[in-house]
Amino acid sequence: MQRLQEILGEYAQSGAARFHMPGHKGRGMGGFFSDELIGCDVTELSFSDDLHAPEAALLRLQQSCATIYGASHSFLLVNGSTSGLHAMMLSLPEGSELIVGRDSHRAVFAGAALAGHKCRYLLPEYEPLHGVWGVVTAKSLKKALEAAPAKAVLVTSPTYYGFCADLKALSEVAHSYGALLFVDAAHGAHFPFSASLPEGPAPYADAWVVSAHKTLNALGQAALLHINSTMKEFALSRALSLVQTSSPSYLLLLSLDWACYTARLNNVWTKAASACEALAEDISALAGLKTLPRSLIGTAGIIDIDKTRLVIDVSGRSTTGYAAKLYLEAHNIFVEMAGERHLVCICTPSDDPGWYKMLLESLSALPNGSILRASNPEPFSVNEQILSLREAMLGKAEMCPLSDCSGRIAAQAVGIYPPGIPLWVPGECIHHENLAYLLEQQAKGASLFGVNKGSVAVVG
């Protein structure tokens, strides 16, 4: 049977008269896109299948992805993992009680609000020696479930730092209390393709998402939602129809096909993991620099670490990750993100080996700063929950200058990347200490989320 790539490629070369969408007709992009590529951008035709009711090429691609990821069923996502997370939330009965990691993506809070769910939060463990947040632990989950039941639990694994939670233990605890386990594995799309990489969620999660575009050869927004037999395919399909476009980009779908095909060739991910490990060793040999060691496994709930996620601690140069990021950009090197102490780099088989040399040489020349020590970790003073997520996110709201928002009720999650843990979530009263920390980090160059032109959304 033909793959989607072959079917669309044949149509692009067929010279067919196209009296259908999209309007570029496979030839009207002015040379910006190649005719071969743009010719594959079609709509639902007799041969191209229907994303919302797949029966042919797209169904075969779903089945192939399910086999690769060890799922009972896989759904193709063109609205990113965000749509998969929303579908998870919407597949549950309205008003369900959930336990979610405080480090969850903002899409989790939005999905819970849309579905009318109530959330309780678990902080990941903190590892003070290296100044990093780990993962949610089974111990903290058990304590939360003993206090009150929940319909589902959602955790993030792997994290932006490549830290993996003990999903086996989390699954055992969740299921023993009658809760489903959902996993945001957006950063782990590549895990099935090498024994050198961590184990994926398949044996333990009831549903999970992976963002193919984050690490595989897929275009932005291309992602996958996987479920196991404990979940009803119809319920997820119905939920996805609410949050996915009815006009999916076939270029995104084509890139999912291509990504899963190429990731299995020539042990590319094993080679990438080895190359990244070697680069990490070379960086750690530089004065004042080090990469996060594998000895972190066993601390802060971390059970494994993605070898292709390069996290560089620059604090030994008395500088910040923010300053180091700007320095590297001045040398035409762009990293995924920066924290007060760290740079986060994503390595894949698509890397040019010359980039590793560029990074190593620029880091070697990274100038010393004047920072004596990094700040303490984010304080996470307890914010009082005044309104539900739904009331806060879908009710009346207004924009308030960030510096003036202390004491207001949040209408949107706000925090710092990294680590991506909201200092306040919708419905919480904004605590003065959390605001002070946010402003301090912003002044140092931190990247904030939930802040728009210096203002944040608060309940009106």
Say if residue 226's pLDDT is above 90.
yes
Integer-rounded Cα radius of gyration of the chain = 23
Percentage of residues of the chain with pLDDT beyond 70: 98
Q: What is the mean pLDDT of residues 124-144?
A: 96
Asked whether residue 416 is domain-assigned, the answer is yes
Beta strands of 269-383 (E only): which ranges?
290-291, 304-305, 309-313, 337-338, 342-346
Q: What is the mean pLDDT of residues 315-333?
A: 97
286 & 426 share domain = no
Contact yes or no for 419/344 (Cβ under 8 A): no
Say if residue 235's pLDDT is above 70.
yes
Give the global pTM: 0.95
416 & 450 share domain = yes
CA-CA distance, 200 to 164, in Å (whole number)? 9
Q: What is the mean pLDDT of residues 73-79?
A: 98
Residue with tokens 């560089």, as numbered in its chain:
312
Asked whether residue 311 is domain-assigned, the answer is yes
33 & 69 share domain = no
Domain that holds residue 164: 57-262
Name the domain boundary from 329, 364, 399.
Answer: 364
Q: Which residue in 291, 326, 311 sits closest to 447, CA to CA?
A: 326
Residue 40 CB coordination number (10 Å): 23
The 10s digit of each residue's pLDDT in 5-24 is: 999 999 999 999 999 999 99
The CATH number covering residue 325 comes to: 3.90.1150.150
Say if residue 299's pLDDT is above 60.
yes
Percentage of residues of the chain with pLDDT beyond 90: 91
Q: What is the mean pLDDT of residues 87-94?
A: 98
pLDDT confidence band for 35 (50 / 70 / 90): confident
CA-CA distance, 246 to 83, in Å (whole number)? 13
Pull the structure tokens for residue 311: 């996290």
CA-CA distance, 308 to 450, in Å (whole number)? 28
The 10s digit of each residue's pLDDT in 414-455 is: 999 888 889 999 999 999 999 999 999 899 889 999 999 999
pLDDT value, residue 383: 85
pLDDT value, residue 246: 94
177 & 316 share domain = no
Q: Which residue in 16, 25, 152 sits closest to 89, CA to CA?
A: 152
Report the chain's mean pLDDT, rounded to a whole number.
95
Asked whether residue 209 is domain-assigned, the answer is yes
pLDDT value, residue 29: 80
207 & 291 share domain = no
The CATH number covering residue 424 comes to: 3.90.105.10
pLDDT value, residue 372: 60
Contacts of 417 (CB under 8 A, 6+ apart): 160, 337, 446, 447, 448, 449
142 & 88 share domain = yes
Number of domains in the chain: 4
188 & 237 share domain = yes
Asked whether residue 195 is domain-assigned, the answer is yes
The 10s digit of each residue's pLDDT in 171-191 is: 999 999 999 999 999 999 999
Contact yes or no for 418/342 (Cβ under 8 A): yes
pLDDT value, residue 36: 85
The 10s digit of each residue's pLDDT in 356-391 is: 999 999 999 999 987 766 555 555 677 889 999 999
Q: What is the mean pLDDT of residues 230-234?
A: 94
135 & 276 share domain = no
The 10s digit of each residue's pLDDT in 336-353 is: 999 999 999 999 999 999
The 10s digit of each residue's pLDDT in 237-268 is: 999 999 999 999 999 999 999 999 999 999 99
Asked whether residue 304 is domain-assigned, the answer is yes
The CATH number covering residue 148 comes to: 3.40.640.10
pLDDT value, residue 298: 98
Asked whether residue 380 is domain-assigned, the answer is no
Asked whether residue 49 is domain-assigned, the answer is no
Q: Which residue in 204, 193, 212, 200 sits closest to 228, CA to CA?
A: 204
Contacts of 263 (CB under 8 A, 6+ apart): 190, 193, 216, 217, 269, 349
Asked whether residue 123 is domain-assigned, the answer is yes
184 & 332 share domain = no
Name the domain boundary from 211, 237, 262.
Answer: 262
